[in-house]
Amino acid sequence: MNEIKGTRILGAPNAGFTNPMKDVYTAKLPIAGCAWVETTDGVVLIDTIARVSVAKEIFKRIKGTIKYIIYTHGHGDHVGGAAAYLKDNPEIIASKYLPDRLDKYKMLAPHRAHITAVQFNVPEIVRTPEFVYPTKTFLGDMTLKLGDKTFELHSVRAETDDAVWVYVPELKAAFIGDLIIAGLPNIGNPWKPTRFALDWAKALKDVRALNPEHVFCNGAGYYYKGEKALKILDYNIEAIYSLHDQVVEHINKGTHITEMIHEIKLPDHLANNPYLRPLYSRPEFFVFNVYRWYHGYFDDNPAHLLPRPENEVMGELYKLIGDSEIILKRAKELSDQDQAQLALEILDVPIQADPENIEARKLRIELLKNLVAEDYCLMSRNAWVYFIDKDKEFINSRK
Ligand SMILES: [Zn+2]
């Protein structure tokens, strides 16, 4: 059996450092980065990078005193390193909603340890996070002046409700956090609350309207300039509107969500765009997300308004079929016809009805391996890998 691996992006030991333009420096880890801007009266740090150990190295490299830290949002890879910079006693600025996010992360620490393990293919370790909270929060727009530079801050709802993007007119540079990442925007995440697709597109349009010459995105892990930066903004804006508007149309038509995720596609020129590759998120997750934002849980099937526990329903179906072999045989046939997902759902009947059905679990491992083989989206790939490992653990525990 070949070993199936997930995609890990956390934990890389070394950061990459750049000085892409005068007065601007960046540090980059695989999942996100940060940037610092020198002024004639001190430094403004935008995001802090994920880990304190790397942040300490950044702190050593920064020349001058850090007067302000700006959080582009409360995800751990943007706020996680803040403790390393506190000797300079900076003012820490964030959206008014960011402290609530940090509180929520503490409240849900065990759950978050679990979903982080599934999403990122890392061990499940519950930690109580030690966050550095902002010293000043705002909503709407805010302007900071420091030395020879101006920092225009805008709070928006996008990937999170606490997003902030920053424009420095003297540099014609926009620092947009995760409003753009390396690939399809992260508008759908199966484990996370809904993201704000329409507001996200509007925020990108506001960035675009400034005609920035320099765009720092993915927490400054990626940097684009000139025409290329404007084009990438345009691709992202068009992709968000395209998928969002299709979901709205389908909701109004009454299409079922399980049909919607397969029917909705990006037009070819965007689907094949190298800057919109589904490396982290994927269009199906986007569709689920926009649907969740606008639609209640009820899908117009009376059986689903107040459903019985799934394993009870599957138990009844299983009794009617009366034979695990028949189900496994059909699941294998479907798998041979490249219908691994359908086979997976059929196998759910014997496995939920009888979790001790080892043959069904063995077949599920094969189906999941088929799904992994063709999947390069980090989140779905890692989910398949997680459940392969869980089934293997279960089978080994029964030997
Ligand atoms: Zn983020």
Distance 177 CA to ligand 1 centre (A): 7
> Each residue of 296-312: pLDDT tens digit?
999 999 999 999 999 99
Residues 6+ apart with CB under 8 A from 240: 185, 187, 197, 198, 200, 201, 204
The pLDDT score that the predictor gives to residue 29 is 86
Distance 159 CA to ligand 1 centre (A): 6
> Each residue of 72-123: pLDDT tens digit?
999 999 999 999 999 999 999 999 999 999 999 999 999 999 999 999 999 9
Q: pLDDT-derived band of residue 349, with 50, 70 and 90 as boundaries? A: very high
> Each residue of 16-35: pLDDT tens digit?
899 999 999 999 987 789 99
Distance 120 CA to ligand 1 centre (A): 14
Q: pLDDT-derived band of residue 10, with 50, 70 and 90 as boundaries? A: low
Domain segments of the chain as ranges: 16-225, 241-294, 308-397
- Are 89 and 66 contacting, i.e. CB atoms less than 8 angstroms apart? no
Distance 204 CA to ligand 1 centre (A): 15
Q: Please tell me the distance from the alpha carbon of residue 116 to that of residue 234, in angstroms, as a whole number.
A: 31
> Each residue of 228-252: pLDDT tens digit?
999 999 999 999 999 999 999 999 9
Distance 161 CA to ligand 1 centre (A): 11
Q: pLDDT-derived band of residue 1, with 50, 70 and 90 as boundaries? A: very low
According to CATH, what is the number of the domain 308-397?
A: 1.25.40.880
Q: Please tell me the distance from the alpha carbon of residue 25 to that of residue 33, in angstroms, as a whole number.
A: 11
Fold of 16-225: Metallo-beta-lactamase; Chain A (3.60.15)
- Strands (DSSP E) found in the chain: 16-21, 24-28, 33-39, 42-46, 66-70, 91-95, 136-138, 141-146, 149-156, 163-168, 173-175, 214-217, 222-225
Distance 207 CA to ligand 1 centre (A): 18
Using CB atoms within 10 A of its CB, is residue 354 exposed (0-12), middle (13-18) or buried (19+)? Answer: middle
- Are 214 and 229 contacting, i.e. CB atoms less than 8 angstroms apart? yes
> Each residue of 145-201: pLDDT tens digit?
999 999 999 999 999 999 999 999 999 999 999 999 989 999 999 999 999 999 999
Distance 391 CA to ligand 1 centre (A): 31
Which residues does residue 164 pair with via DSSP β-bridges, in sequence order? 155
Distance 178 CA to ligand 1 centre (A): 5
Q: What is the token pair recorded at 319?
A: 């009794």
Q: What is the token pair recorded at 113?
A: 């340890």
The pLDDT score that the predictor gives to residue 13 is 57
Distance 55 CA to ligand 1 centre (A): 18
Residues with CB under 5 A from ligand 1 (ion): 75, 159, 178
Q: How far is CA 247 from CA 257, 266, 390, in A?
A: 9, 12, 34
> Each residue of 57-82: pLDDT tens digit?
999 999 999 999 999 999 999 999 99
Phi/psi zone of residue 254: left (φ > 0), alpha (ψ -120 to 50 degrees), beta? left
- Are 37 and 22 contacting, i.e. CB atoms less than 8 angstroms apart? no
Over 80: is that where the pLDDT of 15 sits?
Answer: no
